Amino acid sequence: MKMVFRWWPHGDDTVTLEQIRQIPGVSGVATMFSDIPAGEIWPRETIFALRDQVHAAGLEMEVIESVNIHEDIKKGLSSRDEYISNYITTMKNLHEAGVKCICYNFMPVMDWFRSNLELPLKDGSFAMAYEHSFASGLTLDRIIASMMDGSHDMTLPGWEPERFPAMAKDVEFYHNVSAEEYFKNITYFLDAVMPYAEEYDLDFGVHPDDPPWPLFGLPKVVCSAESIRKYLALNDSKRNGLTLCTGSLGANPENDIPAMAKEFAALGRVPFVHLRNVKHTSEKDFHESAHLSSEGDLDMYAIVAALQENGFDGYIRPDHGRRIWSEASRPGYGLYDRALGAVYIQGLWEAVEKSRK
């Protein structure tokens, strides 16, 4: 297992590589170029320059989160072939720079959604929260405005402003796309890309939908054990894997996360894990919590044990943290709470490892 930490380059992060280097046990970053629009090739020189910067700080750059998928690929338009070809060139460039794992998602139009990016918790910290009745009633303008209001002027993953102008039309487009058609578009992408994932030694981990249920009339793809089985079966390559995001999947109390960790790690199809915890306030309402089992509804020990006992040998990162100690940062991605999470997870990992000997 390798512990990594999400980080944005080119001045788009309040956290520095030097700070990440000082978190015990963290060996590398999961990073991306949020300034390159989806669909464009990531130039070799740009990737190599970043890799050198990360290495100079004493860290590795083996995980990319995310190489976003152009909307035309998701929609299945004829222009997709060019974007897929660009994607494959980016894969080649990343491979040559030593990248081993690519996290991506197939959520249409937008990435994760929260109705409140700064819910005050009892202990004086702030967490991101989701209230279903409120979220389902929002217009697109309100959705964008509510995400931007809490963004502290930083790009939120999946909410890059370049996406906004087309969003309304895109949402409408998907109202006429069935889940079956959408899965065909995914298969087309996977069939084109997986042979190159094998050639370039790149493990792909699709990120679950967040929240893991239908919202805004958009098709949902990865939200339960059943849908994950279906996704992995779309293309049999072992490189076609899952990013097990416990907080995204765990937002639905019916999802048994330790069972999922067991099933998919045993298949060797989990290259990357996002560990975070959630606290349910009702069936479809929740807020994010500190990583500890005692702070949320997920049994983090059971998840770590399931991964280890089933041969998981990939990357783990602490996902969204709370805002604590008055830190100003991109929502979910401050230094302090994620650093506490990284160390807690490694404590669990060591405890499980030693108890098995």
Q: Which of 83, 104 has the CB closer to ligand CS2?
A: 104
Which window, 87-95, 124-132, 240-248, 303-311, contacts Mn ion (CB under 5 A)? 240-248
Q: Which of 80, 207 has the CB closer to ligand CS2?
A: 207
Minimal distance in Å, beta carbon 355 to ligand CS2?
Answer: 29
Minimal distance in Å, beta carbon 319 to Mn ion?
Answer: 4
Q: Which of 116, 350 has the CB closer to ligand CS2?
A: 116
Site residues for Mn ion, 141-200, by CB under 5 A, read none
Residue 4 interacts with Mn ion (CB under 5 A): yes or no: no
**Site track 245-274 with Mn ion (rule: CB under 5 A), x = hit:** x----------------------------x
d(CA 317, CA 220): 24
Q: Which of 273, 324 has the CB closer to ligand CS2?
A: 273
**Site track 316-345 with Mn ion (rule: CB under 5 A), x = hit:** ---x--------------------------
Residue 209 interacts with Mn ion (CB under 5 A): yes or no: no
Site residues, ligand CS2 (CB under 6 A): 65-66, 103-105, 111-112, 157-158, 207, 210, 245, 248, 274, 319
Binding residues vs Mn ion (CB under 5 A): 245, 274, 319
